[in-house]
Amino acid sequence: MTASAPHRTDPSRPFAVCVFCGARPGSEPRFLELAARAGALLAASGATVVYGGGRVGMMGALADGALAEGGEVVGVIPSVLMNREVGHTGLARLEVVADMQVRKQRMIELSDAFLTLPGGLGTLDELFEVLTLRQLGEHAKPIVAVSDHGYFDALAASLRAFVGHGLAAARDVDALELVPSVEAAIARFGPAPARR
């Protein structure tokens, strides 16, 4: 599966990568470590991190990792989650929106590329939203998933099976690029402009 070259939504601002990942910590410490490393490496590359705005689980580790490197982090969170006090208040910007659908739309608008880390149903919902919008020609932004320890391998096999059954087009499935590490994902996005 391969993705297209990076696409700049707004060349006047820093390259922005939207990260989809779990709001839970996962069953092993490596999940939080992966998220923190992703945040730190994206920040070090000069990219702005756009994510779901939470302070818990992998989302919180992602944001904290980027902030520790001096990165700009923009969170987008539905008011129902903010009211449950899971919003990260240490961000450059935290946008509180009406609902989950508006959250996804806003994160897509703010981003030049999409990085998916391990997560659950919400993460898959976000990933499939950007894949479907790409299929419809709504954007041409890169979509990369880190298949850490094979996390997304079964999903990739299912997508290939959909193609084999004639229910999905290979070009649409191929819009998702699986890589083994955060470093490979960042290299895939290309150089981000240097941070001011």
In angstroms, the CA 100 to CA 111 distance is 17
Query: Does residue 75 form part of some domain?
Result: yes
Instruction: Provide the domain count of the chain.
Output: 1
Predicted pLDDT of residue 8: 57
Query: Does residue 148 form part of some domain?
Result: yes
Query: Does residue 12 form part of some domain?
Result: no
Query: Does residue 182 form part of some domain?
Result: yes
CB atoms within 10 A of CB 185: 26
Query: Does residue 13 form part of some domain?
Result: no
Arithmetic mean of pLDDT, 179-190: 92
In angstroms, the CA 8 to CA 5 distance is 10
- Nearest residue to 113 via CA among 191, 169, 34: 191
Query: Does residue 59 form part of some domain?
Result: yes
Q: Which range of residues forms the domain containing residue 63?
A: 20-188
Start-to-end CA distance of the chain, whole Å, equals: 34
Do 17 and 119 contact (CB within 8 A), yes or no?
A: no
Query: Does residue 4 form part of some domain?
Result: no
pLDDT tens, position by position, 95-130: 999 999 999 999 999 999 999 999 999 999 999 999
Percent above pLDDT 70 for the chain: 91
Question: Which of 85 and 174 is assigned the larger pLDDT?
Answer: 174
pLDDT tens, position by position, 133-158: 999 999 999 999 999 999 999 999 99
Query: Does residue 153 form part of some domain?
Result: yes
Q: What is the CATH number of the domain that holds 116?
A: 3.40.50.450
Q: How confident is the model at residue 170 (pLDDT cuts 50, 70, 90)?
A: very high
Question: Which of 8 and 109 is assigned the larger pLDDT?
Answer: 109
